């Protein structure tokens, strides 16, 4: 124990995070067939084992309440608690990555589709029968092969975390480590679903009929992919103009969009690349990858903006911050910045300046964007409610698929498949991070409007403030702490409800 100091934990912990992040980047970007995670965990066993966990637990328990030492220790303890399960589950993560990159969906007509491209093909299909056929084959494959891997992972993660004895159950342990009250957030989600139910019932059938020519009673989650692909707007969001337009906007705001070369764009198509875009901060702030596999149209523009928000956050962090404030912390912060950027696609002024929509089509697009925003908020509220049951331990594993279908279908009106009950879950309550990020970005946007006017996104004074007051601070704060510091307000769904109602008016 004496040989394992805080300095060593930080130093070797950063090396571990760099290696594991690089491995995930190479595998998920299609440059490696799978990720070799176990050797990395073995090389860094000294800073990921029981002794390291005990060291951080001792630091946390002995730090004065409200001190910077306690803030640091809580982040390190959360990382170490996660590491206790992650290092034991590395073989399952390897299996998952290998399966996703090699799995083939076999259609009833004999066609074979790479699993990684299925969501793109569904989203781009205008044929209802084709979408449902692909989805049926996908769900069958997932149920047989992928869902068991994911279920085992969640079962073991919950067991390992509870065995640490930090609190009475996984949910209580998460609250202790994250500083987030799950039950408060769940109550907010339940209230949001009630508050927006009438609005959702009103607009949902309008969009399914107009865009898909389908009855609201017949749509599935596969149809949701096609609906929110919004192909009717493709002409106004050409792929060849996307990067130049967005990089121009960021420069006008006073920020170098590539952070002096620290942000590296990986946006071309590549066999084996994940369909889901991501940001890989390998060395913070020196080496950050933005990875996107093109889908087409406005989807790519919004996704690129989202991941650019992440990438600039990591690329502009202060390099002198300790390891835990750069690599660890409340990911609601970085997700809030990503959403601050992607919500420019819900800003009429931004759309008129940087896209080819023009004034006449912007109004129609804004209504579509409002519908999409309401859907995803309702979807993630339902996910959070479901996940409190998945991790809570009071609902049997066998009952979870039916609960998943009920919660998600009721909230979104799209029929969900029980095959996805363990697949449509990001580990360790990432849904909570997303929801708090939504709330945070609405307050950040209000603050930027107050400081730099409604078109802050092209004010050359706004960018430097964002880089110093927000990006530069890493993730040392919790989302609700940053909301109080920057906006002087509490996180809530109220600003989001107002914005959605305005877009759908």
Please count the structural domains in the chain.
2
Enumerate residues 6+ apart whose C-beta is below 8 A from 499.
346, 370, 373, 442
Q: Is the pLDDT of residue 500 over 60?
A: yes
Neighbour count for residue 155 (Cβ, 10 Å): 13
Stretch 406-412: mean pLDDT, rounded? 98
pLDDT tens per residue, range 90-147: 999 999 999 998 999 999 999 999 999 999 999 999 999 999 999 999 999 999 999 9
The answer to the question of residue 20 being in a domain is yes
- Confidence bin at 14 (pLDDT 50/70/90): very high
My answer on whether 93 and 221 are in the same domain is no
Stretch 231-260: mean pLDDT, rounded? 96
Give the residue from 75, 102, 129 where a domain finishes: 102
Mean pLDDT of the chain: 96
Give the residue from 48, 74, 102 where a domain finishes: 102
The answer to the question of residue 405 being in a domain is yes
> Residue 368 in contact with residue 362, Cβ under 8 Å?
no
CATH of residue 338? 1.10.1370.30
> Both ends of the chain: CA-CA distance in Å?
62
Q: Which segments of 127-176 are extended strands (E)?
A: none
251: helix, coil or strand? helix
Q: Is the pLDDT of residue 176 over 80?
A: yes
Enumerate residues 6+ apart whose C-beta is below 8 A from 459.
253, 254, 452, 453
My answer on whether 289 and 409 are in the same domain is yes
The answer to the question of residue 344 being in a domain is yes
> Residue 113 in contact with residue 107, Cβ under 8 Å?
yes
pLDDT of residue 447: 96
pLDDT of residue 2: 45
Enumerate residues 6+ apart whose C-beta is below 8 A from 277.
290, 291, 292, 293, 303, 304, 306, 307
Stretch 12-24: mean pLDDT, rounded? 97
The answer to the question of residue 182 being in a domain is no
Q: Is the pLDDT of residue 493 over 90?
A: yes
Q: How far is CA 253 from the centre of its chain?
A: 25
Question: Pick the residue with more confidence: 295 or 470?
Answer: 470
Edge-first strand listing for the sheet containing 263-266: 263-266, 287-291, 278-283
pLDDT tens per residue, range 430-452: 999 999 999 999 999 999 999 99
pLDDT tens per residue, range 263-284: 999 999 999 899 999 999 999 9
Q: Tokens in use for 334?
A: 């970085």
pLDDT of residue 18: 98
The answer to the question of residue 327 being in a domain is yes
pLDDT of residue 1: 39
pLDDT of residue 3: 79
The answer to the question of residue 159 being in a domain is no
Stretch 52-69: mean pLDDT, rounded? 96
Alpha carbon of 27 to those of 32, 194, 295, 354, 420: distances in Å? Answer: 5, 41, 20, 33, 23
pLDDT tens per residue, range 285-319: 999 999 999 988 999 999 999 999 999 999 999 99
My answer on whether 91 and 209 are in the same domain is no
**pTM: predicted TM-score of the whole model, two decimal places:** 0.94
Give the residue from 57, 75, 102 where a domain finishes: 102
The domain of 495 spans: 187-504
Enumerate residues 6+ apart whose C-beta is below 8 A from 130.
none
Percent of the chain at pLDDT above 70?
100
> Residue 421 in contact with residue 398, Cβ under 8 Å?
no
My answer on whether 333 and 235 are in the same domain is yes
> Residue 317 in contact with residue 472, Cβ under 8 Å?
yes
My answer on whether 86 and 220 are in the same domain is no
The answer to the question of residue 313 being in a domain is yes
pLDDT of residue 505: 86
Q: Shortest CA distance to 341 belongs to which of 217, 487, 444?
A: 444
């Amino acid at each position: 124990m004496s040989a394992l100091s805080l300095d060593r934990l930080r130093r070797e912990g950063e090396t571990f995070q760099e290696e594991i992040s690089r491995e995930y980047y190479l595998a998920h970007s299609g440059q490696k067939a799978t990720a070799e995670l176990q050797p990395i965990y073995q090389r860094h066993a000294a800073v990921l084992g029981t002794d390291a966990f005990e060291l951080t637990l001792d630091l946390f328990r002995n730090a004065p309440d409200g001190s910077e030492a306690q803030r640091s220790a809580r982040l390190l303890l959360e990382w170490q608690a996660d590491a206790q399960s992650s290092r034991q589950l590395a073989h399952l993560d390897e299996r998952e990555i290998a399966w996703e990159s090699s799995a083939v969906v076999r259609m009833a007509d004999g066609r074979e589709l790479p699993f990684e491209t299925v969501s793109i093909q569904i989203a781009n299909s205008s044929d209802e029968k084709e979408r449902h056929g692909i989805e049926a084959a996908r769900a069958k494959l997932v149920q047989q092969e992928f869902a068991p891997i994911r279920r085992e992972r969640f079962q073991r993660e919950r067991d390992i975390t509870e065995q640490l004895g930090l609190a009475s159950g996984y949910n209580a342990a998460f609250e202790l480590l994250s500083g987030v009250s799950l039950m408060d957030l769940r109550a907010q989600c339940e209230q949001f679903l009630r508050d927006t139910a009438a609005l959702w019932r009103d607009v949902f059938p309008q969009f399914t009929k107009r865009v898909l020519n389908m009855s609201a009673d017949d749509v599935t989650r596969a149809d949701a992919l096609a609906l929110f692909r919004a192909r009717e707007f493709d002409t106004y969001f050409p792929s060849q103009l996307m990067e130049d337009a967005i990089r121009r906007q960021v420069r006008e705001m006073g920020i170098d969009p590539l952070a002096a070369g620290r942000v590296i764009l990986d946006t071309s198509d590549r066999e084996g690349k994940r369909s889901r875009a991501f940001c890989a901060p390998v060395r913070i702030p020196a080496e950050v990858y933005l990875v996107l596999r093109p889908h087409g149209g406005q989807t790519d523009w919004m996704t690129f903006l989202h991941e650019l928000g992440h990438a600039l956050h990591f690329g502009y962090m202060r390099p002198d911050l300790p390891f835990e404030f750069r690599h660890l912390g409340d990911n609601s912060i970085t997700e809030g910045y990503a959403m601050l950027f992607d919500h420019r696609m819900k800003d009429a002024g931004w759309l008129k300046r940087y896209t080819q929509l023009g004034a006449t089509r912007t109004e129609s697009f804004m209504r579509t964007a409002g519908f999409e925003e309401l859907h995803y908020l309702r979807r993630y509220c339902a996910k959070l409610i479901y996940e409190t049951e998945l991790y809570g331990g009071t609902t049997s594993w066998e009952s979870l698929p039916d609960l998943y279908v009920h919660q998600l279908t009721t909230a979104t009106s799209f029929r969900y498949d029980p095959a996805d009950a363990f697949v449509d879950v990001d580990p360790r309550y990432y849904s909570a991070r997303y929801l708090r990020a939504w709330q945070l970005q609405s307050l950040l946007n209000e603050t930027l409007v107050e400081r730099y006017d409604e078109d802050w996104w092209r004010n050359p004074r706004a960018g430097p403030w964002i880089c110093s007051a927000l990006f530069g601070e890493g993730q040392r704060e919790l989302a609700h702490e940053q909301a109080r510091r920057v906006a002087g307000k509490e996180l809530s769904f109220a600003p989001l409800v107002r914005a959605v109602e305005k877009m759908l008016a």
